[in-house]
Amino acid sequence: MKIFSAQQIRDWDQYTITHEPISSIDLMERAAQSCTEWLLRRYPDIELFHIYCGKGNNGGDGLAIARLLLEKGYIVNLYILEFGHRGTDDFQQNLARLHLYPQGRISFIQSADHIQVPAPGEIAVDALFGSGLNRELDGLSAALVSALNQSGAEIISIDIPSGLFSDSSSKGKLSIQARYTLSFQTCKLALLLPENQGSFGKVEILDIGLHGTYEAETNCRFELPDDQLIHAVLKTRSRFAHKGNFGHAMLLAGSRGKAGAAVLSAGACLRSGAGLLTVHLPAAACDIVQTAVPEAMVETDSHADFISQVNITDRYSAVGIGPGIGQAPETVRCFEALLNQYKRPMVIDADALNILAAAPLLLKLIPAGSILTPHPKEFERLAGPVGNDPERIEKLMQLAKEWKSVIVLKGHHSLIATPGGKGYFNSTGNPGMATAGSGDVLTGILTGLLAQGYSPVEAALLGVYLHGLAGDIAAKEISEEALIAGDIVEYLGKAFLEIS
């Protein structure tokens, strides 16, 4: 799914109007019909709906929804935010249509004294401003939104919660706090940003039949990978294949007290399909890893407690480093030697990222095409502080180009930034995966996929998607609360089956 800017979505509307062809008012009717059908599916026992409209096209959507509900016999209280100017043409036309239904109750909000809000638990539809908003809410608009947020009503926003900017930061700004957001045709950037999570609730994407040619022929900066894209990336295996066809991965992981990171990463690497795996780890962790992951070969370091030296040869088709390795001076020197020695793409995570942040000159040694997997705090150590999510995204995209590497900013909707300037927001995963060791599992998956010959971008797309999907399958069976990192490894097989 392509993530278009607000202007591109307006252009898509216009393209559909011109090339289908269809009038703008009929396209609005199509959107309203989709919203109405969703409302009646979600709230089959509700008889009363409160709908709040501005006087732009978002308000026109709200008016059309109100009329469609009235046609079906529902009670509708309609409130129009009034500033004394005429609405858009489609708004005015829908208002005229609504006047044919005298049972609809229309109120105009001209001052704070006219603000009426639903009772707690009642349903409010937010059609005030939509994605065309370009300034912060103030005055009467701010008073109405604040009152709705405090009402205790269940709010459903049409297009985007009023007050949110579609393409830029809304951090610290007032907006509707919706339970659900009904967005049209494609997801918007604002609905993927952590700083907005209190505003949009659960996002539902409604297909309103916008012209497919525009989507196919229009470039965009960001995408939300779907099953079709991931299935296209997945390689099929020859019936005559042997383990040597699927690469030999090397993982540098673990230190005293953190052997579990090596176990999780090694198990995930093998479950991702790597033909062979060698784990280089401190001597103290050897028995633990050999017992927990007998399919892996183990190479012990000369030091008992941490990694201090390693000899990487050409037999390794991919290297992953970071899970649980710590930051002992000897480990730092070992990592530097590895960067000087190994020139193929590698996976860099956890303490390896912290070492890079503390010694930024090492960043110049990262092999082109490597995959870095920081969580937000690790990214901040690498890139410096940022003020909001869009700034973080810009910095991420910039550094992916500068370092010629793929950077996976982990979190809900992990963002995969590529050296070519394209970004992919992941569409799988759940809050249950916010647990110790989850990142170690991802490192193993990515290393295993790289070892099998996937390109760095393919490995990141497939690996992050599989990681989240395995977590989703696990959560359905054992709950988000009970989910631990080892479950993600255990459910990788079911994730592969689902996408294949």
Cα–Cα distance for residue pair 96/241, rounded to 1 Å: 69
Helix or strand (DSSP H, E) at 423: strand 423-425
Q: Which of helix, strand or coil describes residue 276?
A: strand
Neighbours of 12 (CB within 10 A): 20
Are 408 and 265 members of one domain? yes
Q: Containing domain of residue 82, as a range?
A: 2-219
Residue positions counted in the chain:
500
CA distances from 293 to 260, 278, 287, 325 (A): 11, 11, 10, 18
Measured CA to CA, the distance from residue 353 to residue 377 in angstroms comes to: 11
Of 219, 235, 266, which marks where a domain is finished?
219
* C-alpha–C-alpha distance, residues 162 and 129, integer Å: 5
92/98 Cα distance (integer angstroms) = 10
In this structure, the answer to whether residues 268 and 129 fall within a common structural domain is no
pTM of the predicted protein model: 0.95
- Give the span between the Cα atoms of 307 and 484, in whole angstroms: 26
If one counts every other C-beta atom within 10 angstroms of the C-beta of residue 24, the result is: 17
Please tell me whether residues 210 and 346 are part of one structural domain.
Answer: no
Q: Are residues 212 and 247 in the same domain?
A: no
Final residue in a domain of this structure, among 189, 219, 249: 219
Q: Which helix (H) or strand (E) holds 228?
A: helix 227-233
- Same domain? 22 vs 110: yes
Q: How many CB atoms lie within 10 A of CB 390?
A: 19
311 φ, ψ (degrees, to nearest 5): -115, 110
**CB neighbourhood size of 276 (10 A):** 20
The CATH number assigned to the domain holding 385 equals: 3.40.1190.20
Q: How far, in Å, CA of 206 to CA of 184, rounded?
A: 5
Q: What is the pLDDT of residue 46?
A: 97
Provide the domain count of the chain.
2
- Do 270 and 141 belong to one domain? no
The first and second tokens of residue 211, run together, are 């012209």
Which residues is 327 bridged to in the sheet? none
Q: Which of 368, 367, 490, 375 is nearest to 434 (CA)?
A: 375
List the Cα angle 6/10/14 in 5-degree steps: 165
Q: How far apart are CA 67 and CA 471, in angstroms?
A: 42
* Residue where a domain terminates, one of 153, 188, 219: 219
**Tens of pLDDT, residue by residue, the chain (500 residues):** 999 999 999 999 999 999 999 999 999 999 999 999 999 999 999 999 999 999 999 999 999 999 999 999 999 999 999 998 999 999 999 999 999 998 889 999 999 999 999 999 999 999 999 998 989 999 999 999 999 999 999 999 999 999 999 999 999 999 999 999 999 999 999 999 999 999 999 999 999 999 999 999 999 999 999 888 999 999 998 888 898 889 999 999 999 999 999 999 999 999 999 999 999 999 999 999 999 999 999 999 999 999 999 988 888 999 999 999 999 999 999 999 999 999 999 999 999 999 999 999 999 999 999 999 999 999 999 999 999 999 999 999 999 999 999 999 999 999 999 999 999 999 999 999 999 999 999 999 999 999 999 999 999 999 999 999 999 999 999 999 999 999 999 999 999 999 98
* pLDDT reported for residue 479: 98
